[in-house]
Amino acid sequence: MARVKMAAGNWKMNNGVKAAVEFVSQVIPAVKDSNNEVVLGVPFVCIPDVAKLCAGTNVKVAAQNMYFKDSGAYTGEVSGPMLAELGVSYVIIGHSERREYFAETDETVNLKAKAVFAHGMTPIICCGETLEQRELGIKDEWIRMQVKLALKDLTDEQVSSLVIAYEPIWAIGTGKTATSEQAQEICHLIRECVAELYNREVADAVRVLYGGSVKASNCQELFGMADIDGGLVGGASLKLDEWQAISNC
Ligand code: PGA
């Protein structure tokens, strides 16, 4: 079965409720005929309003993080049951910014991925190398390690349904997009790693996105590569014309 491409926006820490409602109200009619799965990763505080607006449309809501415990004394955290109750479909897990600034580790990524599934949502698991790792020639080992640890003890069914986003750190927010060949090479490597860990059927089902300076002008070429099933998009998901073009890419 052909994999449905995904255009996933990651707003990061941008847009309060008012701006989010205005933006999403314009996005919904602009992407209604898209053949891609359109997802918007919005700040926690925007989720209730955005989820209400998106109900019954083809736009799905993602959270940008989630804690792996269901409840308890974890000041400042947000749990799976809280997000599921609001109608969240996807949760972005292990973004490089969370790994760098908020001490996310491969172990917590794995715990969070399991917790996302436990509450009926789907993780979008991020991985990617630094420029230094690429230059040292260890990017392949690094990505394979991140993928193996993230997927530890997940079932065939779970891995078939989840999304992995390859985001080279040197390409995030820098305007320096990986070439479509560079992106394809690693997305292929990720798929082969899943085939090794699980089987061909699972590897053919899992969706692998590319992220890092995706924009309207390069999405077609990137999303057209054999192992790239769409994009995780930061900056360009905040601009209506750009996001419309990428969603409909
Ligand atoms: P960018 O961010 O598109 O602004 O490079 C991508 C991401 O961090 O998900």
Q: Which of 38, 36, 3, 42 is nearest to 161 (CA)?
A: 3
- 92 Cα nearest atom in ligand 1: 9
User: What are φ and ψ of residue 105, in 5° steps?
Assistant: -120, 170
| Dist CA 133 CA 141 (whole Å) | 10
Q: Beta-carbon neighbour count of residue 196 at 10 Å?
A: 12
Given this model, what pLDDT does residue 48 score? Answer: 98
Given this model, what pLDDT does residue 219 score? Answer: 98
Taking the centre of ligand 1 as the mean of its atom positions, its distance from the CA of residue 199, in whole angstroms, is 30
Contact residues of ligand 1, CB 6 A cut-off: 10, 167, 172-173, 211-214, 232-236
Given this model, what pLDDT does residue 1 score? Answer: 63
CATH architecture of 6-247: Alpha-Beta Barrel (3.20)
Sorted by where each begins, the domain ranges of the chain are: 6-247
* Residues of the chain scoring pLDDT < 50: none
Which residues lie closer than 8 Å to 64 by C-beta, 6 or more apart? Answer: 10, 11, 12, 41, 42, 43, 44, 91, 92, 95
Q: At CA 19, angle to CA 76 and CA 8, rounded to 5?
A: 75
What burial letters (b/e) apply to 12-33, b meaning 16+ CB within 10 Å? Answer: bebbeeeebeebbeebbebbee
